[in-house]
Amino acid sequence: MKVGQFEINDESPVFIIAELSANHNGSIDTAIETIRAVKRAGANCIKLQTYTADTITIDSNKEDFLIKGTIWNGKNLYHLYQDAYTPWEWHKELFRVAEEEGLICFSSPFDPTAVDLLESLNAPAYKIASFEITDIPLIELVASKQKPVIISTGIATEEDILLALDACHRMGNFEIALLKCTSSYPAPIEEANMVMIKDFKERFNVISGLSDHTMGSTVPVVATCFGAKIIEKHFILDRSIGGPDASFSMNEKEFSEMVKAVREAELAIGKVDYTLTEKQIKGKDFSRSLYIVQDIKEGEIFTEKNIRSVRPGFGMHPKFYKDVLGKESNKNLEKGKRLTWDDIK
């Protein structure tokens, strides 16, 4: 899978996405400043969300449209999205600023008109948000553009995932990533279930990754260790500016620390390799080997009292210890001498 100039595969570094979402708080200047901060923090990509209140819901105060059990409790869906959306007239400038900063920029569309807008901006990929994984017509439309499709699975059953994958495949699109996501805001760490990262890759034959709403860097690091190749986190200049997503978004310092932790985790994972580095080979000097621990006269028998396996490792390998016991010395040997085959009659 290739998103912009970034190749995503088993050998590539983790592709780190900063999610802008509503964290511009209604100001394009804040949005632009956030993109620049995202670059400083070490992300590879800035992601937007492309919708209006009218393209994602309807203006209704009926019970069905009132939010319950979340940080937005009691709020009307329409009014939430009115507050949170990124104006469409900003998109061209935000894409331009991202390119200027050397960042990849793409978005989550929520209806066909959003796809049209993003196509006009040559978006290099599409993200399907967790709550849209059941919108099969939208997924088919996005997949038909023959660009990578990154799908969050926050509310998905296995059947939902299979239906979404089938929708992409029907359009001839197999460039798909699945992101493990817990759709709570913020998400409890005990519900992260990072073992799913590996299962997604093996069960569905896709790139797997993480869309994270937990606090801190622990879950992204664990995801990296389980093979995540994409990590997405919400980014905000300063939580004090407020907004619908502020409470579970990372500021520049926190995001930078997460990026550093993920990159260090990648280095720590390494690869399956039983050959030794130069330092490890040098370290064998401090391993065990057979040494003379009491002066021995020529013709004297080697015993447990006069030879031992000790550090350092310049003498005979300890695996020969029992072979040497009971044999005779062919010369006088001083305490502290390495034992070699030349010392044995």
* Boundary residue ending a domain (207, 240, 269): 269
CATH code, domain with 27: 3.20.20.70
Residues (pLDDT < 70) of the chain are none
Spatial distance between the Cα atoms of 153 and 170, rounded to a whole number of angstroms: 20
Rg of the Cα atoms in the chain: 30
Q: Does 4 map to a domain?
A: no
pLDDT at position 70 is: 75
pLDDT at position 161 is: 98
- Give one DSSP letter per residue of 80-147, joined into a string: HHHHH---GGGHHHHHHHHHHHT-EEEEEE-SHHHHHHHHHTT-S-EEE-GGGTT-HHHHHHHHHT-S
Estimate to the nearest angstrom the gap between the alpha carbon of 63 and the chain centroid: 38
The H or E element containing residue 225 is helix 218-225
Same domain, 184 and 252: yes
Same domain, 296 and 263: no
pLDDT at position 300 is: 97
Q: Does 6 map to a domain?
A: no
Same domain, 264 and 313: no
Sign of CA dihedral 315, 317, 321, 324: negative
Number of H helices, E strands in the chain: 12, 12
Q: Indicate the SS3 state at residue 233.
A: strand
pLDDT at position 285 is: 92
Q: Assess contact for 84 and 245: CB atoms under 8 A.
A: yes
Same domain, 211 and 308: no
Q: Does 141 map to a domain?
A: yes
Beta bridge partners of 210: 180, 231
Same domain, 229 and 301: no
Estimate to the nearest angstrom the gap between the alpha carbon of 267 and the chain centroid: 13
Q: Does 79 map to a domain?
A: yes
**CB-count exposure of residue 333 (10 Å: 0-12, 13-18, 19+):** buried
Q: Does 23 map to a domain?
A: yes
What is the four-CA torsion angle of 66, 70, 75, 79, rounded to 10 degrees? -100
pLDDT at position 33 is: 98
Same domain, 182 and 308: no
Spatial distance between the Cα atoms of 86 and 111, rounded to a whole number of angstroms: 14
Same domain, 238 and 257: yes
Buried/exposed 288-308: b ≥16 CB within 10 Å, e otherwise: bbbbbbeebeeeeebeeebbb
Distance between start and end Cα atoms, the chain: 66
pLDDT in tens, 85-142: 999 999 999 999 999 999 999 999 999 999 999 999 999 999 999 999 999 999 999 9
Spatial distance between the Cα atoms of 277 and 274, rounded to a whole number of angstroms: 10
Token pair listed for 52: 């209006």
Same domain, 39 and 140: yes
The H or E element containing residue 46 is strand 45-50
- The residue segments making up the domain with residue 49 are 11-269
pLDDT at position 174 is: 98
Number of Cβ within 10 Å of residue 196's Cβ equals 18
CATH code, domain with 312: 3.90.1210.10
The H or E element containing residue 230 is strand 230-234
Sign of CA dihedral 145, 150, 155, 158: positive
Give the residue from 62, 16, 12 showing the smallest Cα distance to 179: 16
pLDDT at position 244 is: 82
Q: Count of domains in the chain?
A: 2
Same domain, 159 and 209: yes
